[in-house]
Structure 1
Amino acid sequence: MKITPELYSDMTRQTSPKSDHRTNLTAAFLTGGAICALGQIILSVLEAYGLERTEAGTWTSIILVGISSICTGLGWYQKLAKLAGAGTLVPITGFSNAISSSAIEARSEGPVLGVGAKIFTIAGPVILYGCSAAAVYGMIYWFFSR
């Protein structure tokens, strides 16, 4: 039996689990908000210990990335992402998870050809296009601010 694209789409629609958009949106909103609230708490604690705002912000990012990497390695981040969806992907912790999970999957292939070659397979395009867009926007800003 030959499966046409239309038939395949119909079969996919019939077998895919139905999702409740309200529940998904609420879970994503609350989880993303909780991650950001954790970041704010870390920032406030670091500022209370005397770090300047920019330095505290840098350390906050580093701490959140570290926590996310550890949670990815322990398998907790994937479980949270299953429940919360985009709420775990949008903050910086999602970027850390993308890099960490690629490295963890490739570690059996060795440090160079495995981890080194595949660590940025998911995050690489984000870095490339993010840096390219920043350069273009920077040139536009520079041109109009002269």
Structure 2
Amino acid sequence: MNEQRYQTIEQQISPKPPIGMNMLKAFLVGGIICAIGQAISYFYIIFFDFTEQTAGNPTVATIIFIAMLLTGFGLYRKLGQFAGAGSAVPVSGFGNAVISASIEHRTEGFVLGVGSSMFKLAGSVILFGVVSAFFVALIKLILVTIGVVSW
């Protein structure tokens, strides 16, 4: 059987994924995660006297922490199976990915298993964030120096 005929038969036999329903699930779950993040942000603003600008960092840290707890209890995997990208795209997906790698390699020990696996993903994300922030700050400094924008 040649490859083209095989692909034709496979397309005929394979069930069509419910793309519309998958998009709706991803949209709703992603929106709910973002709404929870907004509620956490308001919590920090109301009870801890943060401003809208300063509440962002603790809000992100809290969402990542909650996602890590849910991953540890095995609940985030079920959410990911239901919602797909709706649970992976928000920042909670980052926390899930970091902890999932650590849990998978915990038998290798805390340093070589958990620690190194955690930073396989987190290290590249943190590095990209730091380098991106450096270049954005450098561009802003240049634009401020030549008088295009002001601080």
Regarding TM over 0.5, the answer is yes
Identify the residue that residue 33 of structure 1 maps to in structure 2.
Answer: 31
| Structure 1 consecutive aligned stretches of length 4 or more whose deviation exceeds 6 Å | 3-12
Gaps of 5+ in 1: none
* CA deviation map 1:33-78 (0-9, x unaligned): 1011111111212222142124433322222111100100111111
Gaps of 5+ in 2: 146-151
Residue 104 (structure 1) aligned with residue 98 (structure 2) = no
AA of the residue aligned to 2:117:
K
Distance 1:142 1:77, change over 3 A: same
Distance 1:81 1:133, change over 3 A: same
AA of the residue aligned to 1:88:
S
Q: Distance in 1 between matches of 2:97 and 2:137?
A: 27
Distance 1:35 1:143, change over 3 A: same
- 2:16 paired residue among 15, 18, 22: 18
Residue 47 (structure 1) aligned with residue 37 (structure 2) = no
* Residues 1-146 of structure 1 aligned to structure 2 (within 5 Å): 18-53=16-51, 54-146=53-145
AA of the residue aligned to 2:35:
A
CA contact (8 A) 1:27 1:84 kept: yes
| Root mean square deviation of aligned Cα | 2.6
